[in-house]
Structure 1
Amino acid sequence: MLELSDAQIGGWVGSFVLPLFRIASMFMVMPIIGTQLVPTRIRMYLSLAVCMVIMPTLPPMPEVDAISVQSFVMIAQEVLIGVMLGFVLQLFFQAFVIAGQLLAGQMGLGFASMMDPANGISVPVIGQFFMMLVTLLFLAMNGHLVVFEVLAESFVTMPVGTGLLTNHYWTIANKLGWVFGAALLLVLPAITALLVVNLAFGVMTRAAPQLNIFSIGFPLTLLLGFIIVWIGMADILAHYQVFATEALQFLREMAQAS
């Protein structure tokens, strides 16, 4: 009969299960993989596969008792680290969604909403379009590979069993302002152009009160809004590169222990 000692079980817990919790928690929260489009079972299989691949390159893990308060504390700590790393990526993707919502509200398309299959919420069509666009750009430019690299490096810079510093939470809180700033910077030219269009309609209404501006202003605003979005697509790649660089650099800084 096979008998396992407490030391052997603790070694297995430290070498495989603890890194698995960090990887799995990040995959459950991060965009693309952590959405409702990917079944939970597939996410767990992917977490197991990634953990088995990077496990030989990881530093020595602490030996803990499998059933003890210390092991549960370390598991909760690894889950928290993974959630923090995945939440940083969510901030980057949500910047484009907020940009689409701002633009949709300005061009009068805020009522045209659809169910987001990834998050299970209702969002404007423009925001969903930006979300799909940034997802394709992120995968095409190997952003997911950079995320896997940072995740593997986090086990060296932030080993299993080390405490989290408080400034990580404050850094994430300060990064929320970056999300709204990036969203506004992304659609500021389009919002300015639509504001000029609305001002022109106001002047027309003042000059000719008999003109029913609502019958022609709304469809014309929609048409001009689509044209402005189409023209603005020429600069979307430049904005994406800047925002993606800042987000991935912030993700790498979050993976540091200092």
Structure 2
Amino acid sequence: MLDLTSAQIGAWVASFMLPLFRVGALLMVMPIIGTALVPVRVRLYLTLAITVCIAPTLPPMPPFDALSLSALPLIAEQVVIGALMGFSLQLFFQSFVIAGQILSTQMGMGFASMVDPTNGVSSAVVGQFFTMLVTLVFLAMNGHLVVFEVMAESFTTLPVGSGFMPSHLWLVAGRLGWVFGAGLILVLPAITALLVVSVAMGVMTRAAPQLNIFSIGFPITLIGGLLIMWIDLGDLLNQFEPLATQALQLLRQLASVS
């Protein structure tokens, strides 16, 4: 007869249950997998599969009684760490959404909005186009595998029970302004070109007041904006790489104690 003590059972439960909460929080918040396009049941199955694969390679977990209140601080710690790691990736993707919103407003397509299936809110079509494009590029460059690697390493660099660092919250809060700056940098050349078009329309209005600038200004700005966006996409990869590097560096900083 197999005789198991409560300490052994607690160690077995901790070796699987604590990583499960950190992995699950990451997958529920991170882009692509954490969006409304992926059903919750699929995310749960993926969480279980990843936890089963990485659990044998993780360092020993602190034993605890899963049915006692003493387990709540450890569980809350893992949920917060995983959610912050996923939220840091959301900041990277939202910079492209902001870039699309700014560009669509400048080119006169701010009214062209529809429900975004990934976030469940109404957003500009240009922003959704940038979101789909950056998602495909992120997957093509195996960015999701890097995220899973950092998450697995976080159990060594940020062990369970080491205590959550408040500096991590300030680290993420400090990147909120970075999102708007990154979005502006992405579309700054296009905004400059559209500003030149607007100035040209103003000069035409002053030179020929009888010209109905409102009837031809909007289609010219719209077509010019689409052409500029098409040209700007040729340099998207050079803009994507430094922003993705900064986002992954933030992810590694969150996965460390210091």
The residue aligned with 2:42 is 42
The residue aligned with 1:164 is 164
CA drift of 1:5 comes to 4.7
What is the correspondence of 1:26-175 to structure 2 with a 5 Å cutoff? 26-175=26-175
Whether contact under 8 Å (1:9, 1:66) holds in the other structure is: no
Q: Is residue 242 of structure 2 the alignment partner of residue 242 of structure 1?
A: yes
- What amino acid sits opposite 2:83 in the alignment? V
Whether contact under 8 Å (1:24, 1:44) holds in the other structure is: yes
Identity %: 65
Structure 2: how far apart are the matches of 1:57 and 1:3? 26
TM-score (norm 1): 0.97
The residue aligned with 1:256 is 256
Large movers: runs of 4+ above 2 Å: 1-9
Secondary structure of the 2:70 match is helix
Instruction: Flag structure 1 segments of 5+ consecutive residues without an equivalent.
Output: none
The residue aligned with 1:25 is 25
Structure 1: how far apart are the matches of 2:33 and 2:118? 10
Whether contact under 8 Å (1:157, 1:256) holds in the other structure is: yes
* Deviating more after overlay: 202-211 vs 54-63: 202-211
Secondary structure of the 2:31 match is coil
User: Cα deviations across residues 115-158 of structure 1 (Å, max 9, x unaligned)?
Assistant: 11111111101100000000000000000110010000000011
The residue aligned with 1:16 is 16
User: Cα deviations across residues 200-230 of structure 1 (Å, max 9, x unaligned)?
Assistant: 1111112222111000000110000000000
Secondary structure of the 1:69 match is coil
CA drift of 1:17 comes to 0.5
User: Cα deviations across residues 80-124 of structure 1 (Å, max 9, x unaligned)?
Assistant: 000000000000000000000000000000000011111111110
Structure 2: how far apart are the matches of 1:255 and 1:20? 16
Secondary structure of the 2:210 match is coil
The residue aligned with 2:180 is 180
The residue aligned with 2:195 is 195
Structure 2: how far apart are the matches of 1:51 and 1:148? 11
Q: Is residue 221 of structure 2 the alignment partner of residue 229 of structure 1?
A: no
* Deviating more after overlay: 160-169 vs 101-110: 160-169
CA drift of 1:57 comes to 0.6
CA drift of 1:69 comes to 2.1
Instruction: Flag structure 2 segments of 5+ consecutive residues without an equivalent.
Output: none
Q: Report the RMSD for the aligned CA atoms in angstroms.
A: 1.3
